[in-house]
A and B are shown apart, each in its own frame.
Chain A
Amino acid sequence: EAQVTQNPRYLITVTGKKLTVTCSQNMNHEYMSWYRQDPGLGLRQIYYSMNVEVTDKGDVPEGYKVSRKEKRNFPLILESPSPNQTSLYFCASSSAGYRASSYEQYFGPGTRLTVT
C-alpha cells in the first residue's frame, strides 16, 4: 500500500529537549515536504526536498532542521523546541513528473506536538 508514515503521532515534550519526527514514504517519490498546521493559518511549508541531499527552506524554517540522506526518509529535527512550535505537523511526498497529476502530494497522518 502506497503511504507516508510519520512517527510519533503524538508527542508532549519540554522546552529545549531535542526531538526528531520521522517521515518515510514507500512510493519512490523525489519530492518531500514538511508542513505545520495552526488554527487560522492553514498549512505552512517548513522545509522541502527535491531529492537526496537537496533541501530548501519553505516559509517558516526557523527552529527546524531537516536532512535527506535516503530517498524514502525525511526527518524533521527540532534542536531546541519552544512552546511556539506546538502544532500539528504533516509530512508529504510527490513525484517529480511534468504534469499536475504527478504533483499530487501524499500526506502522512500528522504528528501532534505539544511543547511545554
Chain B
Amino acid sequence: AQTVTQSQPEMSVQEAETVTLSCTYDTSESDYYLFWYKQPPSRQMILVIRQEAYKQQNATENRFSVNFQKAAKSFSLKISDSQLGDAAMYFCAYRRYTGNQFYFGTGTSLTVIP
C-alpha cells in the first residue's frame, strides 16, 4: 500500500510571510494524483490544490503552489502572503491512477501569527 508522510506536525508563519509544508510518499506506481486539503476548525475538508503525476509543471492556485519532485517522491505546498484565514490543518493525499483509493498523510497544523 502507498504511504504518505507529513513530517511536520505543526508549523507557524507570520502573517504576510511564506511557509512551505512538506509531504513525501512511497509508491511503485508511475501514474497517480496528489492533492493538498485544508481543514479549518469547522472540520470541513477543502481542496487546496491538485497535481497529476504525469505533468512536470507544478500546479499553482493563487497564493498556493506546489513543488512536485517525482523522482524524490516529494510534494510540498508553498503558501505565499499568508493570511489569518490560512490557519488550519493541512493534509497531503495520494490517489491511485485507477480506482478510488486515497491515502492521506497525518496532517500539519498551521498557525498564522498576526
Contact = CB atoms under 8 A, between A and B. Distances in A.
Interface of A: 31-33, 35, 40-45, 48-50, 56, 58-59, 88, 90, 92, 94, 99-101, 103-105, 107, 109-110
B43 A88 contact: yes
Interface in B55-79: none
Given A100-B33, A103-B33, A103-B95, A41 B106 contact: yes
Nearest to A44: B104
Contacts of B107: 42
B105 A58 contact: no
B100 A109 contact: no
Contacts of B106: 40-42
Give the residue among B45, B95, B103, B106 with the most A Cβ atoms within 10 A: B45
Interface of B: 1, 4, 6, 9, 33, 35, 43-45, 47, 50-52, 91, 93, 95, 99-107
A99 B112 CA distance: 33
A35 B1 CA distance: 16
B101 A110 contact: no
B91 A43 contact: yes
Contacts of B9: 40
Contacts of A101: 50
Given A41-B106, A109-B44, A94 B50 contact: no
A45 B51 contact: no
B100 A33 contact: yes
Contact of B100 (A40, A50, A59, A99): A50
A100 B51 contact: yes
Given A43-B91, A107-B44, A110-B43, A99 B105 contact: no
A43 B100 CA distance: 15
A107 B43 CA distance: 10
Given A104-B47, A104-B50, A42 B95 contact: no
